[in-house]
Structure 1
């Protein structure tokens, strides 16, 4: 499905073309919608050059994401792709961007998208924090709160796999025993069997490694079955739809998050607070109070990253050429000390994310809102 940006694409022969590949419909729509909202705020000029933004919807389907990537590169001749915002779709697009020698700034989380940053991944970058960053602060919070046993339930896909790898490793280091491990699909309507196994293990806490509204299902089932321990989620829950669907059943949930999600409550000394607040005000002016999410902030960060790289690429080649795409890829890789709403970026040939501990804090759902809890 194609979404034209009439406001941003009034010039038929724009000098720079940026493809935007998102899950605007389907199970991951709650993630893609705020990303699209942020894209609609992107300026129509970068470095004095007009920009044509072409938005495609993959309907949360990896095969659609691949088709969209082929179209953007082969037909639309884009200079760069932003998105997708789900890990399976981003992984599915890697071969396409490498073949088309077109840089991709993914809005999905898994480190597998960019690591190792060679071969086909040489063209891939991403905005969200690696799961290892998030798992580090999450397990630290567990340890600080005397959690000794934990159960894990996550998506049965690349997102759940990545979280399991990082969480299980760090839990072992912090002497937190994992007493149950379960999986479920994003489209499942029941996890009663998995929940009963988790509750039989009597863990101090449960980590749900899922994203958007499908992350509500295990938590709701645990609460309905009378689980009284602490429940943790991942940064993938940072959507307004999660709060709406979860309601009182997700109240009190702890989760790692990018600082932009709780920008208004960050300590004044936080290094990204000013940038995060600036974007929050811009976004809320367009979409309403308390509407800003992790995924909107990541998309705005992508714009800032690209805007920082384009002048360098323009000094070496003309948009619409293979040489410009290569120069743009190189400029992205050389990003240094760029503050975006979610952290400070320092990329390199061995790091296509470039974020450090300044990119995450712990949040908590209080009063059906995402609030600041810990760190930063």
Structure 2
């Protein structure tokens, strides 16, 4: 049943047996507001390491620290992983703010870091030792823009959180907004009880749709507040909300929401010709319940691990540093997409890795590939 996943493991790992023990450090939000992402990521990483260590002489040592969803904690533990634990590579953090915070630390130490965040600014401009496994915010914005223009929606109001992810969204939107009229931009803190005031200001400007850029429970609050004010206006959420967690929190207020998303969340609705479909279905058979009970974002931990292992394979084969090996990964099929990394692109995913989905009858429906 898991032949695809296992065959990928064999292909990736068979070439790294000459390495001594590999030390992988992980910075995960196991507690705090992003724990629904960090906890399942921890489970996935531990399982992947366990499977590897059962079948290979050279072992992987996984060292995990809980960032508590706080940038300061991420910095503290990044330094510990580098100076005390002397890790070969770091996976994480889970939040854009924490990822941005540790960049100076890992860059100075020259330790390859595969982040698990959406923010474009983490990898643009390119930082030599910093990579990411999720799609960039700018990629999701492009996908949304195409959908809007294809449906003759040009006038939008924008609401975004004041944190790293929200402001990264505003930055990307302003840069890529050609063809769209942004009637207003409102900000909020993710800890705010509601966003009714900001949404009212936007609605008064008569947009055709509201675009919200945030993650977690704040997105559900926006959906509820907006439906209290207006039952009919189109709500578009970020790729950070393309998650079962969103539907659980927002309930019926999530109905009709449009979101850019990874293919994983609608894998069974993809055509058989899609190169990712078989892997997605088999991944779902292994980790599906964990993901549905927590967050789709946890899949990024799987992708990060597999990319790193592929990097070690190339590093050994060509006798080059891991950072250079990662930049040579091409056409690598994984859960989030087909990766093509380079010196100019430390994410390696384009719009083809995303789909547009809609919340319909409490489920996600594929709308546009």
After TM superposition, the score normalised by the length of structure 1 is 0.87
Matches within 5 A, 1:113-128: 113-117=122-126, 121-128=127-134
Distance in 1 between residues matched to 2:248 and 2:359, nearest whole Å: 12
Match in the other structure for 1:295: 297
Query: How many angstroms does 1:242 deviate by?
Result: 2.0
What count of residue pairs does the alignment treat as equivalent?
A: 347
2:208 matched to 1:214?
A: no
2:338 matched to 1:332?
A: no
Distance in 1 between residues matched to 2:43 and 2:206, nearest whole Å: 42
User: Which residue, 125, 129, 154 being the options, matches 2:135?
Assistant: 129
Query: How many angstroms does 1:128 deviate by?
Result: 0.9
Moved more, 74-83 or 217-226: 217-226
Secondary structure of the 1:178 match is: strand
User: Which residue, 81, 85, 92 being the options, matches 2:101?
Assistant: 92
Which runs of 5 or more structure 1 residues have no equivalent in the other structure? 1-13, 318-325
Do the aligned partners of 1:16 and 1:50 also contact (CA within 8 Å) in 2?
yes
Secondary structure of the 2:157 match is: strand
User: Which residue, 234, 240, 263 being the options, matches 1:230?
Assistant: 234
Distance in 1 between residues matched to 2:329 and 2:317, nearest whole Å: 16
Distance 1:149 1:19, change over 3 A: same
Distance 1:111 1:48, change over 3 A: farther
Do the aligned partners of 2:267 and 2:280 also contact (CA within 8 Å) in 1?
yes
Distance in 2 between residues matched to 1:235 and 1:34, nearest whole Å: 18
Match in the other structure for 1:259: 263
Query: How many angstroms does 1:48 deviate by?
Result: 4.8
Question: CA-atom RMSD, angstroms?
Answer: 2.0
Offset from partner CA, 1:224-267 (integer Å, 9 cap, x none)? 12342100001101333322111111112110011122212112
Distance 1:17 1:62, change over 3 A: same
Offset from partner CA, 1:69-107 (integer Å, 9 cap, x none)? 011111111110000111110000001111221100000
Do the aligned partners of 1:257 and 1:294 also contact (CA within 8 Å) in 2?
no
Which runs of 5 or more structure 2 residues have no equivalent in the other structure? 1-19
Match in the other structure for 1:366: 360
Distance in 2 between residues matched to 1:100 and 1:315, nearest whole Å: 25
User: Which residue, 198, 204, 208 being the options, matches 1:204?
Assistant: 208
Query: How many angstroms does 1:292 deviate by?
Result: 7.7
Query: How many angstroms does 1:193 deviate by?
Result: 1.7
Query: How many angstroms does 1:356 deviate by?
Result: 2.0
Query: How many angstroms does 1:109 deviate by?
Result: 1.1
Match in the other structure for 1:22: 28
After TM superposition, the score normalised by the length of structure 2 is 0.88
Matches within 5 A, 1:242-281: 242-281=246-285
Kindly indicate which of the two structures has a greater share of residues assigned to helix.
2
Do the aligned partners of 2:46 and 2:62 also contact (CA within 8 Å) in 1?
no
Match in the other structure for 1:323: none
Matches within 5 A, 1:141-180: 141-171=147-177, 173-174=178-179, 176-180=180-184
Do the aligned partners of 1:149 and 1:203 also contact (CA within 8 Å) in 2?
yes
Distance 1:312 1:128, change over 3 A: same
Distance in 2 between residues matched to 1:149 and 1:368, nearest whole Å: 27
Match in the other structure for 1:10: none
Match in the other structure for 1:59: 68
Do the aligned partners of 2:223 and 2:235 also contact (CA within 8 Å) in 1?
yes
Distance 1:369 1:36, change over 3 A: farther
Secondary structure of the 2:321 match is: helix
Matches within 5 A, 1:27-42: 27-42=33-48
Distance in 1 between residues matched to 2:197 and 2:351, nearest whole Å: 37
Distance 1:370 1:54, change over 3 A: farther
Query: How many angstroms does 1:220 deviate by?
Result: 1.1
Do the aligned partners of 1:283 and 1:292 also contact (CA within 8 Å) in 2?
no
